[in-house]
Structure 1
Amino acid sequence: MPWDRYWVISWNVHMSDPERDTQNDRRKGTPGHDGLFRLKPLLDSVKDACRSSYHPRQNLSVDERAAPLQRMKGKPTKWGFKLFALADGSSGYTWDFTVYTGKSPLPPTPS
C-alpha cells in the first residue's frame, strides 16, 4: 500500500470516542495523558484475541520487538513500533504485549 494512502486511511479511522479524545488531549504533558488512547480499543481487542486463542506452555520469554513504522536508530528494523512482548519460548507465539510510548516517569500499569 502506498504511504500516502495509508495516512489518508489512518487519519479517517477513529476507534475511540471523540469527546474522550478531547479530554485526554487536555491532559497532554501530565501523568494522566495516554498517548495510545485513540488506539486502545483496537489494542485491547488484539490482546484479548491473543490471550484467548492460545495457552502458553511453561517456558515464557519477555522480548523487545519492532513492528514496522517508527524510526529507531541503531536497530536492525529502523522504522517501527517498539513492543515488549510476552511470548511462548517454544513456538514464539505472542501472548501479551505492551507498546513502548517513550520514557515515562511513572511505572507501567498492568493491562
Structure 2
Amino acid sequence: MFAGGLVLASTLIFFAVWLQRSEQLGWSRERFDDEIDQIYLQRRRRSRRRVNFLFLVCGILVLVATLASPKNHVVWLSCWISVMLVLMTILLLAGLDALRTMRHVRHRLDHLRQKRS
C-alpha cells in the first residue's frame, strides 16, 4: 500500500508538471493565427493551468495520505476524500473545456465560411 501510494503520488505530480510544460511549449500541429484564436487560446491556457494545478494538488494529497498511513485515520481519510473531490472537479473542468473547444471550432468554421464568400 505504501509503495502504491508513492507511485501514484509521483505519477500525478509528474503528469501535472508534464502537462503544464507541454502547454507552455505548445502542442505539435497546433496553429493559432487569427484574433479569434488568440482569445480562445488565452482562456484555454488559464483553464488548463487550473487543471494542472489541481493534478499537482492531488499528487500532494496522495503523498500526504501515504505518509500519514491508515493509523492516522483523520488525515488519511480527509486526504482521500479531498482527492476524490478534486478529481471530480477536474472531470467537470475537462467537460467545460471540451464544450469551449467545440464552440470555438464552430465559431472558427463560420468565420472561415464568411471569409470565403
TM interval, shorter chain, is under 0.3
Q: Indicate the structure whose relative CO is greater, using CA pairs within 8 Å and at least 6 residues apart.
A: 2
TM-score normalised by L of structure 1: 0.25
Flag the structure with larger Rg: 2
Higher strand proportion: 1
TM-score normalised by L of structure 2: 0.24
